[in-house]
Amino acid sequence: MNWPNRVLMVTPEYFDVEYAINPHMRDAQGNLNTIDKEAAQKQWQDLKNTFEKLGKEVVTLQGQAGLPDMVFCANQTFPYLKEGKMHWVLSQMHSPERQPEVAFFKEWATKNDIPTYDGMPTHFEGMGDALWNYETRQIFAGYGFRTSPEVYATIEEQTGQKVTTFELKDERFYHLDTCLSILKGDCAAFVEEAFTPEGLATLKQSFSTLIPIPLSEATEQLACNMCTPNGKDVILQKGASKTVQSLQAQGFNVIEVETSEFIKSGGSVFCMKMLLWD
């Protein structure tokens, strides 16, 4: 399986924090976070530019009024290859506030000749919880907060690939993409506190190199919500100095970006994009 060569992003004009469906969306006083819309637009544009500088074509889907979290476009679909052509499994979002987002992705897929499957039996939140190892063709998948474990039999059936599952135990890491980042075939970054003992044992069996992310950087900078689009370059929220050092020690080229406005809603680099094949 090749690394995807395109990136889908959803435009951020309607991004905001209008409700709280994860612990990151409220401030220390319990109030909903306030978004600086101008800063958010700049941060989104800078991330788009970063993917383009790395040689990836960025395609965009228009954000929609009343759907402030649609910008986190890792969640609504799960892309896979079938007979050399990209297909999408459509998500069944856990939160009622986000459920209408999926229809816009289905419409976009239809316009772009992408076959879709929308028969998930219960809650599933796309690549928020189901992660590809693009080099080994394995799928690593989380459940417990947003996605139900029952869905992964369907994912195996649709993709023809094995799914390795992890129970998530800390609500701060409500999606697998907040506590596990697959960097290349034999290397991943992880947040130890997010996994059960059984999950940690599975990770150690699955990867020859595991990079631990400090809990403070995983919560404050969402450091594990990093993205590598090619197995060499890693993009993450700036300021996670220990994580940066650990990545560089493994030979990765680290690119720090600013996603602080999006972190106020519980997402960073990985959440803000979907990698696509042609």
**Beta strands 57-61 and 116-117: pairing type?**
unpaired
Q: What is the DSSP string of 138-197?
A: EEEEEESSSS-TTHHHHHHHHH-S-EEEEEB--GGG-SGGGTEEEEETTEEEE-GGGB-H
pLDDT of residue 167: 98
pLDDT at residue number 1? 66
**Whole-number Å distance between alpha carbons of 238 and 242:** 11
Report how far residue 213's alpha carbon sits from residue 250's, in angstroms, rounded to the nearest whole number: 14
Amino acid letter, 117:
Y
CA distance linking residue 215 with residue 194, whole number of Å: 9
pLDDT at residue 128, rounded to an integer: 98
pLDDT confidence of residue 179 = 98
Where the chain has pLDDT below 70, the residues are 1
pLDDT digits (tens, 9 = 90+) for 188-247: 999 999 999 999 999 999 999 999 999 999 999 999 999 999 999 999 999 999 999 999
Catalytic residues, by residue number, are 175, 271
SS3 9: strand
pLDDT reported for residue 234: 98
Distance of CA 251 to the CA centre of its chain: 23
